């Protein structure tokens, strides 16, 4: 309950900051819609020359785009703004104030900056998923929807855990400013099903930097291609990833010397 109250407070603060720059938020929303139109145009061009891509049809790719945008929204809402703030706090020593607060420093680093206007993209992503499923002629059952939600949450936790590990390297290498560049670059691979990539790249985006776990696999759950044991396996992977990230964060904190050093 305490954490929900804290998130609510941080959310209100960020809403006030966003309201102060309403015109900027409107411009960014319009740009986001423009990029979505460009993405849909690209898919239309691809499917004007073929019926499937890696065994996936046009509707299924639309649904995958919706899931990709959910992950991308999480990155743009929390990851990128807080990465910049975190890196700066390590260099100037203001991380001291975060560590001294009576709450998890990892929690504060995650939610201190929130791009409020980005949250509307969640609605747009859900619309894309619904449209994609209908175009594909898939019949979503209550179980497949439940599996999809669980797999999407699991994928988001895996990506979040990977982010925590990558920014925690800043405790060891203070000038490690490009700590999420690889993650940002490989995130784009989630726009397409993992089956379109060569085997070596499939291994990378599934096991090393698991972008596919957050994009392709949830759609496979919605398509009823995964059984309950597999869904539970990915949930366990997410839990283990979060535990490892938390331990790595705590180990990094012990390396932090503070502004007074």
Q: What is the pLDDT of residue 123?
A: 84
Angle of the 80-92 helix axis to the 142-168 helix axis, nearest 10: 20
Token pair, residue 215, equals 């994009």
- Of 15-29, 102-116, 150-164, the least confident: 15-29
Quote the CA–CA distance of 178 and 7 in Å, as a whole number: 27
d(CA 249, CA 99): 12
CB 177 within 8 A of CB 119: no
Phi first, then psi, for residue 56 (nearest 5°) are -110, 140
**120 pLDDT exceeds 60?**
yes
The token pair that represents 160 in the structure block = 């979040």
Distance from CA of residue 87 to its chain's centroid? 19
What is the share, in percent, of the chain residues with pLDDT greater than 90?
16
Report the SS3 class of residue 194. helix
- Mean pLDDT (whole number) for 17-42: 76
22-42: average pLDDT? 78
CB atoms closer than 10 angstroms to residue 108: 18
pLDDT digits (tens, 9 = 90+) for 166-178: 888 888 876 666 6
User: CA neighbours within 13 Å on the CB side: how many for 245?
Assistant: 20
pTM (2 decimals)? 0.84
- Nearest in space to 164 (alpha carbons), one of 93, 111, 97: 111
Average of pLDDT values for 152-171? Answer: 89
Half-sphere exposure of 211 toward its Cβ, with a 13 Å CA cutoff? 25
- 185 CB-near residues (< 8 Å, 6+ apart): none
Concatenated DSSP letters of 158-173: HHHHHHHHHHHGGGT-
Residues β-bridged to residue 56? 53
pLDDT at 249: 93
Domain-by-domain residue ranges, the chain?
A: 2-253
Percent helix, strand, coil in the chain (nearest 5)? 80, 0, 20
What is the predicted pLDDT for the residue at 246? 95
Q: What is the pLDDT of residue 242?
A: 95
Which one of 80-89, 115-124, 217-226 scores highest in mean pLDDT? 217-226
């Amino acid at each position: 309950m305490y954490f929900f109250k804290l998130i609510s407070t941080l959310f209100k603060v960020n809403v006030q900051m966003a309201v102060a720059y309403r015109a900027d938020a409107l411009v960014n929303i319009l740009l986001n819609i423009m990029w979505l139109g460009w993405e849909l145009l690209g898919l239309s061009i691809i499917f004007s020359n073929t019926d499937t891509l890696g065994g996936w049809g046009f509707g299924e790719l639309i649904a995958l785009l919706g899931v990709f945008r959910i992950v991308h929204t999480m990155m743009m809402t929390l990851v990128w703004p807080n990465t910049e703030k975190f890196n700066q706090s390590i260099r100037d020593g203001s991380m001291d104030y975060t560590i001294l607060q009576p709450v998890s420093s990892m929690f504060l680093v995650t939610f201190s900056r929130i791009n409020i206007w980005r949250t509307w993209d969640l609605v747009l992503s859900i619309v894309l998923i619904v449209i994609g499923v209908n175009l594909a002629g898939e019949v979503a059952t209550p179980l497949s929807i439940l599996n999809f939600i669980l797999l999407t949450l699991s994928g988001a936790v895996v990506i979040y855990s990977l982010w925590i590990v990558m920014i925690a390297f800043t405790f060891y290498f203070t000038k490690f400013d490009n700590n999420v560049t690889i993650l940002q670059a490989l995130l784009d691979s989630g726009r397409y099903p993992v089956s379109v990539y060569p085997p070596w790249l499939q291994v990378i985006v599934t096991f090393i930097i698991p972008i596919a776990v957050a994009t392709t696999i949830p759609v496979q759950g919605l398509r009823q291609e995964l059984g309950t044991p597999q869904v539970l396996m990915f949930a366990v992977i997410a839990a283990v990833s979060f535990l490892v990230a938390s331990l790595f964060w705590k180990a990094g904190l012990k390396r932090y010397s503070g502004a007074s050093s």
